[in-house]
């Protein structure tokens, strides 16, 4: 029978889509009632009974028995003659309860019912998906690449739900093909055109935090806490960790024997350089650790301005600043201090000249290139060889030699 097939179809759908029993019954009942309203104008005098287990349903209509010729509403009233055909004991004023044969409503009514059911179940699925992933924000999900576009990638989870990984949330070294498996963290869930949109990220610090939880049991168990993470995705990251157990070295636990634990994370992030730092409430020491691998000579803090002047030996300055200023920028983000680096010279009274004094003789973009590698005075540039300057900057060797000649002339 068509009605039984109808129930069976959506009963199977319920099992596939994890719609709970009570909700499914309510949806079916609402769908039947919407059809009854379209046909009869009202569903108030109808009882709809849905039996999911048996895969069937019943519709009963309640009507009042009235004298022949006085029927004003055929939906709520029935003439005595018609009532006696159902049961010979009926009398005027009594209520007749008879079962409605849904097939008599025709194929159009059944089609309307199917469409109504499909629409309601689709809305339930959207709500279910939105709620499910809203609760999973911050969790890592694994999915299969289904479609790749210019600005984003479509990923399917193990239930076939669609997830979006925007290009901006992908690590610069990421390259995936259709069918490959991807891991990413859920960062937000939006409703767009009444459809849930699940946005993933591989560049979020939360993704790196979850990877550490997977690889380091002490973090998962709460013995080690990640205090803060800052990242330049695909290039460098700094992770501040703290142990609540004096017997556990947080940095050693995160790195693992011969780097066994952190290597898996680095591979996942396409060789992103990860500095694991032991957190401390001592701000001077924390800044010193954050500037790793540079060795700091001394630090002067300005707490009100949240600024730190860091003094280093000339050969350590470029390490503290890092390529393109990346190391000092991440250290500043990690510690919350604006960090300025200065050189310490063996002879404090030795005359030196700031590069800013040469703006009339050297173009400003060349000076900016030199400052970017930590050379902000004439002698800091002269301390380096032409080969070193060529490797660390984007300047040509001829340009560097001209700059050196100009700087040397200042001291002659």
Q: What does the pLDDT look like over 296-340, one tens digit per residue?
A: 988 989 988 899 999 988 888 888 998 888 999 999 999 999 999
> Which residues on neighbouring strands pair with residue 97, listed in sequence order?
62
The pLDDT mean for the chain works out to 85
Q: What is the CA radius of gyration of the chain?
A: 37
CATH code, 204-279:
3.30.300.20
CATH code, 2-132:
3.30.1480
pLDDT category of residue 1 using cuts at 50, 70 and 90: very low
What does the domain layout of the chain look like in residue ranges?
Answer: 2-132, 136-201, 204-279, 355-411
At 7 the pLDDT is 53
CATH code, 136-201:
2.40.50.140
Question: Is a pLDDT exceeding 60 seen at residue 278?
Answer: yes
Contact criterion met (CB below 8 Å) for 2 and 103: yes
**Confidence (pTM):** 0.67
Which of 202 and 7 is assigned the larger pLDDT?
202
pLDDT tens, position by position, 44-70:
888 888 776 666 678 888 988 888 888
User: 349 CB contacts (<8 Å, ≥6 apart)?
Assistant: none
Contacts 24+ apart (CB under 8 A), 118-125: 120/27, 120/30, 120/31, 121/10, 121/13, 121/17, 121/19, 121/27, 124/17, 124/19, 124/23, 124/27, 125/17, 125/19
pLDDT tens, position by position, 183-194:
999 999 998 888
């Amino acid at each position: 029978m068509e009605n039984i097939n109808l129930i069976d179809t959506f009963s199977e759908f319920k099992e596939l889509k994890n719609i709970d029993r009570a909700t499914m019954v309510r949806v079916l009942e609402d769908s039947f009632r919407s059809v009854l309203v379209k046909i009869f104008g009202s569903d108030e005098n109808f009882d709809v009974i849905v039996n999911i287990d048996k895969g069937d349903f019943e519709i009963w209509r309640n009507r009042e028995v009235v004298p022949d010729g006085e029927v004003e509403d055929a939906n709520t009233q029935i003439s005595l003659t018609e009532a006696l055909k159902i049961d010979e004991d009926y009398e005027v004023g009594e209520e007749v309860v008879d079962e409605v044969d849904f097939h008599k409503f025709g194929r159009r009514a059944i089609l309307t019912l199917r469409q109504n059911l499909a629409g309601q179940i689709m809305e339930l699925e959207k709500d279910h998906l939105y709620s499910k992933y809203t609760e999973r924000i911050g969790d890592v999900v694994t999915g299969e690449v289904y479609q790749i576009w210019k600005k984003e990638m479509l990923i399917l989870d193990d239930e076939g739900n669609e997830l979006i990984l925007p290009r901006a949330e992908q690590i610069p070294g990421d390259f995936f093909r259709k069918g490959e498996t991807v891991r990413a963290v859920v960062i937000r869930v939006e409703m767009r055109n009444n459809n849930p949109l699940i946005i993933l990220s591989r560049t979020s610090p939360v993704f790196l935090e979850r990877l550490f939880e997977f690889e380091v049991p002490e973090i998962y168990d709460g013995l080690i806490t990640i205090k803060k993470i800052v990242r330049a995705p695909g290039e460098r990251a700094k992770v501040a960790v703290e142990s609540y157990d004096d017997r556990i070295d947080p940095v050693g636990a995160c790195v693992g024997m011969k780097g066994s634990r952190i290597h898996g994370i680095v591979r996942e992030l396409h060789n992103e350089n990860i500095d694991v730092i032991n957190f401390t409430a001592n701000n001077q020491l924390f800044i010193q650790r954050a500037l790793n691998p540079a060795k700091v000579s001394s630090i002067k803090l300005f707490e009100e301005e949240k600024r730190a002047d860091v003094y280093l030996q000339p050969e350590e300055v470029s390490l503290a600043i890092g390529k393109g200023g990346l190391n000092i920028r991440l250290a500043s983000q990690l510690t919350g201090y604006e960090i300025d680096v200065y050189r310490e010279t063996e002879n404090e009274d030795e005359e030196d000249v700031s590069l800013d004094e040469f703006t009339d003789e050297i173009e400003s973009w060349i000076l900016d290139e030199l400052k970017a590698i930590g050379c902000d005075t004439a002698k800091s540039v002269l301390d380096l060889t032409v080969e070193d300057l060529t490797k660390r900057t984007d300047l040509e060797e001829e340009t560097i030699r001209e700059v050196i000649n100009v700087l040397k002339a200042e001291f002659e």
